[in-house]
Structure 1
Amino acid sequence: MLERVPYWLLAIPLRLAVATVFWNSAMTKLANWDAALQLFREEYRLPLLPPDVAAHLAVSIELSMPVLLLLGLGVRPAALVLLGMTSVIEIFVYPQAWPTHIQWAAMLLVLLCRGAGAVSLDHLIRQRWSKAPASGQGG
């Protein structure tokens, strides 16, 4: 009986849960930007990116991707971006936090593989696009 639960019903809490994690992280950084920059300079120390650039990039991702997830717009690309960010955090910043990161990754992998579900802008756009008449055809 549980196998008949529609995917969209499962996708909504997945999208909400992942969006909340990253949105809250952005809000924490923005609440004290100087402290956030200090973390990127002293604790996070990502390779190849200057701390200020990394901080701005991280907050930009943490603000934009959750909005896309909540709207159900571009969910697969958003999930891929957040999966990449999760990987960077796991590999370079907090490798000991893998139990948390694997939960994020599992949710993001489901969204990446299955998409937003039927209750999403992605679904609405796909429906409209498939119903649009092909240009240059007909009489």
Structure 2
Amino acid sequence: MNSSAAQICTGVSRLVALFSRIPDSLIALIGRFSIAAIFWKSGQTKIEGFAVDLVAGEFQFGWPQLSDSALELFRSEYRLPLLPPELAAPMAAFGEHVFPVLILLGLATRFSALALLVMTATIQIFVYPDAYPTHGVWATVLLVLIARGPGKISLDHWLAKRYAAR
């Protein structure tokens, strides 16, 4: 191998070694925040009376109610098979609020990620089948959380350490 090729290979090897030092817990934390934000924002569009948007600085702490527009979307645009809109809309709104919070905290992370993966598959198959590039990214993040867990910066990790010591 000539000198230039050897230098390139050495440089690439060093770069790969540097990348491999990125902590899995950091990757999981970024994934948890990102996927939680996506589903939380979607859930916020389905309710009235309760709003938390840290980026926009919007806070409204009332009793959440399903919005009429959310129910209408489930009746006209989403039209899921097997579930009536009156059941699907509140289930989606509930899931898009509870599971992101659990994922953000790193509590019941694998279960919550699985629930959101099922929701993602449902959206992909029945609602927006042409949106695979977006749903594929969501599924990838959720599968990483299911397969690898939430990382060390999580309540799951803390609880596991605490109860393993007993």
* Aligned pairs for 1:75-114 within 5 A: 75-114=109-148
Equivalent residue number for residue 13 of structure 1 = 30
Pairwise CA distance, 1:29:
1.1
Q: Does 1:57 align with 2:74?
A: no
Aligned partner (choices 19, 25, 44) of residue 27 of structure 1: 44
Aligned partners of 1:128, 1:12: CA distance in 2, in Å?
20
The AA in structure 1 aligned to 2:44 is M
- Scaled by the length of structure 1, the TM-score of the pair is 0.93
1:13-35 CA distance string (max 9 Å, x none) = 10000000000001111147111
The TM-score normalised by the length of structure 2 is 0.78
The Cα shift of 1:129 comes to: 1.0
Q: Any gaps of 5 or more consecutive residues in structure 2?
A: 1-17, 49-65
In structure 2, C-alpha distance between the alignment counterparts of 1:9 and 1:96, rounded to whole Å = 31
Instruction: Give, in angstroms, the shift of residue 10 of structure 1.
Output: 0.7
Amino acid corresponding to residue 45 of structure 2 in structure 1 = T
The answer on 1:128 being equivalent to 2:145 is no
Structure 1: distance between partners of 2:112 and 2:42:
16
Q: What one-letter code is carried by the residue in structure 1 that aligns with 2:133?
A: P
- Between Structure 1 and Structure 2, the one with more strand by share is 2
Gaps of 5+ in 1: 133-139
Q: Which has the higher contact order (CA 8 A, sep 6+)?
A: 1
| Rounded Cα–Cα distance in structure 2 between residues aligned with 1:95 and 1:67 | 27
Larger CA Rg, structure 1 vs 2: 2
Q: How many residues align?
A: 132
Number of the residue aligned with 2:62: none
Deviation at 1:58, TM superposition (A): 0.3
How many angstroms does 1:63 deviate by? Answer: 0.5
Residue from 35, 46, 64 that aligns with 2:80: 46
CA distance in 2, matches of 1:50, 1:128: 43
Structure 2 equivalent of residue 135 of structure 1? none
